[in-house]
Amino acid sequence: MQQINKRINYIEFSVSDIERAKMFYGTAFGWSFTDFGPNYCEFNDGHMKGGFDASGEVTTGGPLVVLYGDNLPDLQIAIEQAGGIITKPMFDFPGGKRFQFTDPEGYELAVWSEK
């Protein structure tokens, strides 16, 4: 049987406001962006790419996307200042610490660090 590369390759978020999504993720995480027309923008976190799609209805939920950050206290402040809401305060888990938040569209994500 042929080996198949199995990994998350791209994440796409439905958004109502691409500029607001870019401001939030650019401010909180330092992501860069490439616009592809009025309803689509690709993001790049330096490791993985994904997209913001404003062509349909926003539906939140589904799998929890977990991001990584070196300094969780500073990142929590950046998320709150960018308009995110902390939904689960920082806690220890095997391997490190993490917290969860919602972005301005209502998506819940987590951020972890081994520190």
Determine contact, residues 25/46, Cβ cutoff 8 Å. no
Q: How confident is the model at residue 97 (pLDDT cuts 50, 70, 90)?
A: very high
Mean pLDDT of the chain: 92
Q: Is residue 58 domain-resident?
A: yes
Burial of 101 (0-12, 13-18, 19+ CB in 10 A): buried
Residue 33's pLDDT is 98
* Residue pointed to by tokens 């539906």: 59
Name the helix (H) or strand (E) containing 23: helix 18-29
Cα–chain center distance at 24:
9
* Residue pointed to by tokens 């990994």: 7
CATH, residue 20: 3.10.180.10
Residue 92's pLDDT is 93
Give me the number of domains the chain comprises. 1
Q: How confident is the model at residue 1 (pLDDT cuts 50, 70, 90)?
A: low
* Residue range 35-85, pLDDT digits in tens: 999 999 999 999 999 999 999 888 888 888 999 998 999 999 999 999 999
